[in-house]
Structure 1
Amino acid sequence: MFDILVYLFETYYNPQACPKAEVLAHKLAAIGFEDDEIDEALSWLHELSESAAMHHPLNAQYHSDSIRVFTNHEIQTLGHEALGFIRFLENSGVLPPALREVLIERAQAIDESPVPLTKIKIVALMVLWSHEAEIDHLIFEELLTDDEDRLSH
């Protein structure tokens, strides 16, 4: 699924350029992605749009000085590394509170606990991409950097 999400980000400049689900499924199959992986990615993206709609308008219900306290369940499922990265994005001004909630919800939909940093970065990238958020160049590079590659250099 994550390979498809990265492919969509790299191929379509914005979400409006992305074809409808049926056409996209055919395109993804034609380039070699497996049907179950395509179904999982399209389902995840559909749920992303539903989650975003639930938290719309993006800044209306939150105050800028609010603090997010994570539940024990969120700490368990996301893990400290993912939570630290979410806080980093918030402190960088990239992730408004409503998008943070979308990111947390979509990250918890991953069938992996704790969520690896590489995957939380892809989820964050897709959440920001789906909302056409402005991303500072250095933050953008951080989202695309694989920490394992960074350690091996």
Structure 2
Amino acid sequence: MFELLIYMFENYLSSKSYLDFNNISMELEAAGFDNDDIEEAFDWFSQLKAMSDKIPQAIDAKENTNLRIFTEKEYKKISSEGLGFILFLEQAKVLNSIEREIIIDRAMALNQNIISIDEVRWVVMMALWNNGKENDYLFVEDALYNKDTLTIH
């Protein structure tokens, strides 16, 4: 399903225009994606949107003082590099604590045993784009495609 999430994000969702889910479903089926995976992917994005819509607009990442202790399930499923990347973004004030929790929730919702650093980066990118944080999205996109040159100034 993860490949389908990326495909949908790159081809449909990142445009932020009106989406006709019936047409998209038919196009995805014609492209060879499984109907169950398509439904799971739509559910995944719907949950992301629902969670993001609940974020208070007044939250300031600079005032972020919450300490996060990961659960055993999170440690087992999300790679240590992925968890480190999430913490890095929070410390760099790219994410606030609520966005961090949304990203962890969406990573845990993926139907696979292990979530790699690249998959975490994609989840972060989709969450930031969905929250209207395009500039931060571009930072993560750079981290995804230019892994050797990631720096914060």
Kept in 2, the 8 Å contact 1:79–1:115? The answer is yes
Identity of aligned residues (%): 30
Corresponding residue pairs, total? 146
1:122-141, aligned counterparts within 5 Å?
Answer: 122-133=122-133, 134-135=135-136, 137-141=138-142
CA shift digits 1:52-102 (9 cap, x unpaired): 234x21554984233222233322332312211111222332222211110
Kept in 1, the 8 Å contact 2:25–2:38? The answer is yes
Using the size of structure 2 for normalisation, the TM-score is: 0.76
**Corresponding position: 1:57 with 2:56:** yes
Distance across 1 between alignment mates of 2:58 and 2:105: 17
Task: Determine the structure 1 residue equivalent to 2:86.
Answer: 86
Task: Determine the structure 2 residue equivalent to 1:27.
Answer: 27
CA shift digits 1:92-123 (9 cap, x unpaired): 32222211110010111112333112211221
RMSD: 2.8
Kept in 1, the 8 Å contact 2:59–2:96? The answer is no
What is the CA distance between 1:22 and its match in structure 2? 2.2
Q: Could you list the structure 1 runs, at least 4 aligned residues long, displaced by more than 6 angstroms after superposition.
A: none
| Equivalent position amino acid for 1:7 in 2 | Y
What is the CA distance between 1:12 and its match in structure 2? 4.1
Using the size of structure 1 for normalisation, the TM-score is: 0.76
| Equivalent position amino acid for 1:101 in 2 | E
> Structure with the greater relative contact order (CA < 8 A, sep ≥ 6): 1 or 2?
1
Task: Determine the structure 1 residue equivalent to 2:66.
Answer: 66
User: Which shows bigger deviation, 8-17 or 91-100?
Assistant: 8-17
Task: Determine the structure 2 residue equivalent to 1:119.
Answer: 119
Unmatched tracts of structure 1, length 5 or more = 148-153
Task: Determine the structure 1 residue equivalent to 2:5.
Answer: 5
Do the aligned partners of residues 60 and 135 (structure 1) sit closer, same or farther apart at CA in structure 2, a change above 3 Å counting? closer
Task: Determine the structure 1 residue equivalent to 2:151.
Answer: none
Unmatched tracts of structure 2, length 5 or more = 149-153
| Equivalent position amino acid for 2:104 in 1 | I
Do the aligned partners of residues 73 and 136 (structure 1) sit closer, same or farther apart at CA in structure 2, a change above 3 Å counting? closer
What is the CA distance between 1:6 and its match in structure 2? 2.0
Distance across 1 between alignment mates of 2:147 and 2:51: 27
